[in-house]
Amino acid sequence: MDGIDALLDTHDSIGLAALVRDGEVGARELVEAAIARIEERNPALNAVIATRYDAALAEADTVDRSAPLAGVPFLVKDLNCDVAGLPSTRGSRLFADVVATEDCELTRRFKAAGLIILGNTNTPEFGKNASTEPVLHGPTHNPWDLDRSPGGSSGGSAAAVAGGMVTAAHANDGGGSIRIPASECGLVGLKPTRGRTPTWPIPASFAYPVGVGNCVTRTVRDSAAILDAIAGPLPGDPFPAPPAPPTGSFLGAVEQEPGRLRIGFSTVLPNGEPVHPAGITAIERTAAVLSALGHEVGEGMPDWDRRMSALVVTSAMGINGARMVEDRLAELGRPLADDDLEVFSREMHERALQQTGIDLHRAL
């Protein structure tokens, strides 16, 4: 097992799948190694909040070895990506006892690609926070410094990948929920174009159509391969994405020469606050690398109304989230209790109840 365990450090998801495809390692062996790591490391990180080990081992035994990501252990964020048999709490006490009864479309595509889902990862309530510390499941810790946050809202997934439990994990993003934790945990995190990946059949997706599903990974090619596996519209999708790259795949595009790119960066946050000195150092180091590669790199700030993004996000998230909460209360047959929602979620919910369909239409 020691040799198999080391593969989780030396190989990315594509590399692990190649070993499974060539018969050099079994999918069950990889899953067992990932399970052992979760059991060993999760108590310190609190990244994983529910598991399905028996089902995962059974799926590993029957996985199609020709699948692009065959046998690769994987985790799914506990928000808007249901996995049959796993909790679907959305990080909220209001949904604490909800268990998914069927796989959502994104989960089906993960499984079709050969990924073996081991469990759910932590998320702030409804994904409405840039730090993953819900009252329901407690805070997730950053593997690089346990006294710090991994960011959010995909902080559980990011901590699990950065902590070496798995090589990739599901994440989604409405206002930074892939990009923030990827940045804070040293990972690759891409928010795809709206409509690139499916959100349905999950009803009342809280940030729909602002939120987009994808993943966090350790390598660019892994992110491309997973996006290849899950991209594509469903009939009725209101926001179809542009066509795939001319290469026919995102993984193929990774190998293409991009030409000289014009790249901008900012050392000031959108609200005008300065970036932490350590962040500026990282930005400047990255800018120097990109410049050395021949790209045009310069500092700049988009000319935009900084209030607009906040308005869009709070309206889209707030109104759709209010519908989700109201639907849940209707199922329970009771009004909202004092301890159902955290303070921020309750405030957003109460504001949303005062908004109109016109407000939502403007935001979208």
Domains (range + CATH), the chain: 2-254 (3.90.1300.10), 262-299 (no CATH), 306-363 (no CATH)
pLDDT at residue number 207: 53
Mean pLDDT, rounded, for 205-210: 59
pLDDT at 214 over 70: yes
User: What are 106-149's pLDDT values in tens digits?
Assistant: 999 999 999 999 999 999 999 999 999 999 999 999 999 999 99
301 vs 93 pLDDT, higher one:
93
Q: Is-catalytic flag, 249?
A: no
Q: In the chain, what percentage of residues exceed pLDDT 70?
A: 97
Our answer to whether residue 205 is catalytic in this structure is: no
Q: Angle of helix 13-21 relative to helix 220-230, nearest 10 degrees?
A: 70
Selected catalytic residue, list 88, 153, 154, 315: 153
Task: Count the residues in the chain.
Answer: 364
Please tell me the predicted confidence (pLDDT) of residue 119: 99
Q: Is the predicted pLDDT of residue 227 greater than 60, yes or no?
A: yes
In the set 13, 77, 149, 345, the catalytic residue is 77
Question: How far from the centroid of its chain's Cα atoms is residue 155's Cα?
Answer: 8
Q: For residue 279, what are the contacts with CB-CB under 8 A and spacing of at least 6? A: 267
Q: Across the chain, what does the average pLDDT equal? A: 93
Q: pLDDT band at 1, cuts 50/70/90? A: low
Rg of the chain over all Cα atoms, to the nearest angstrom: 20
348/159 Cα distance (integer angstroms): 27
- Catalytic site includes residue 77: yes
Could you give the percent of the chain with pLDDT greater than 90? 78
Angstrom distance (rounded) from CA 51 to CA 75: 9
Could you tell me the pLDDT band of residue 273, with boundaries at 50, 70 and 90?
confident
**189-216 core/surface letters (b: 16 or more CB in 10 A; e: else):** bbbbebbbbbbeebeebbbbbbbbbbbb
Average pLDDT (248-272) is 91
pLDDT of 221: 98
pLDDT surpasses 70 at 203: no
What token pair was written down for 9? 């450090």
pLDDT digits (tens, 9 = 90+) for 15-68: 999 999 999 999 999 999 999 999 999 999 999 999 999 999 999 999 999 999
* Span 168-196, average pLDDT: 96
- Give tens-digit pLDDT for 63-99: 999 999 999 999 999 999 999 999 999 999 999 999 9
Q: Which of 177, 205, 223, 345 is catalytic?
A: 177
Question: What mean pLDDT comes out for the span 207-229?
Answer: 91
Greater confidence, 3 or 309?
3
CA gap 140, 153 in Å, rounded = 11
CA distance 339 to 345: 11
- Long-range contact pairs involving 141-147 (C-beta distance under 8 Å, separation at least 24): 141/44, 141/45, 141/46, 142/184, 142/185, 143/45, 143/185, 144/185, 144/186, 146/44, 146/45
Instruction: Give the pLDDT score at 208.
Output: 59
- Distance, CA of 148 to CA of 135 (rounded, Å): 17
Residue 228 phi, psi (nearest 5)? -60, -40
Band (pLDDT 50/70/90 cuts) for residue 204 is very low
- Helix 2-10 vs helix 13-21: crossing angle, to nearest 10: 130
